[in-house]
Structure 1
Amino acid sequence: MIRGVRGATTVDKNDGEEIVGKAQELMQAVIKQNDIKPENVTSVFFTVTEDIDAAFPAKSLRRLEGWTHVPVMCMREIPVPNSLARCVRVMVTTETSRNQTQIQHVYHYNATQLRPDLKS
């Protein structure tokens, strides 16, 4: 079955190394908690809020062994008034034997407020 796995994190400032580092930390947790193998991934989409432009969070995947050939793209979130600032979101589309309720979506730092009903 093909499933989507979500995640989000926040950065303290618009700094390239922090953006890539926090995105890498998020991806490592998403991968580990859902036992994701790069060869089973269809694509990965990152979005950032409009206050983040110092780096592409997709660079975080290139730091992970085996993820070189996984298609990845970055996009901008729509600027909804009063939405969470300095937020990086990710959607990983992957083949998995897990059912929908077994997927573990991951939310770090201030992004935990996006889905308080889910525990990371």
Structure 2
Amino acid sequence: MTVRAVRGATQLEHDERGPMLESVKRLFKEMLDANGIVEEDLISIFFTATTDLRCEFPAVAARELGLSDVPLMCAQELEIAGSLPRVVRILVHAESARTKCEIRHVYHGGAAALRTDLAPVSGGTP
């Protein structure tokens, strides 16, 4: 097994706790499912949120899914003019037998614009 990184992002409609946690849970589950990752494979998870999201820490969604022994960290995205608003990004580090080119990254809703080069493997709904 090798350590692999899986990226994902979702754009929220509003800065509201319930919808944020549901969107992050849906994104996180899809990232794991798309890459055959189970909880025992997880090494650490890094969450970021744009500066306009203040309702909750995105990592709370992972804790609500039952992840209690995986290190989680949240950070704020750089505030860059013209950047996409209300975006939560996730970077999962996990053990995997997949090669780098076999890893599937997941972008939901408007966040798909962040990585148009990955559009064929992106999916989901906002």
TM-score, scaled to structure 2: 0.91
Match of 1:12 in 2: 13
Match of 1:62 in 2: 63
Q: SS at 2:104's partner residue? A: coil
Match of 1:89 in 2: 89
CA distance in structure 1 between the aligned counterparts of 2:109 and 2:100, rounded to whole angstroms = 24
The one-letter code of the counterpart of 1:84 is: L
Offset of 1:49 from its aligned partner?
A: 0.2
The one-letter code of the counterpart of 2:63 is: R
Bigger share in helix: 2
Identity of aligned residues (%): 38
CA distance in structure 1 between the aligned counterparts of 2:88 and 2:17, rounded to whole angstroms = 12
The one-letter code of the counterpart of 1:111 is: A
CA distance in structure 2 between the aligned counterparts of 1:63 and 1:76, rounded to whole angstroms = 21
Runs of 4+ in 1 over 4 A off after TM superposition: none
CA distance in structure 2 between the aligned counterparts of 1:3 and 1:31, rounded to whole angstroms = 12
Match of 2:105 in 1: 105
Q: SS at 1:8's partner residue? A: strand
Q: How many residues align?
A: 119
Offset of 1:64 from its aligned partner?
A: 2.0
RMSD after superposition: 0.9
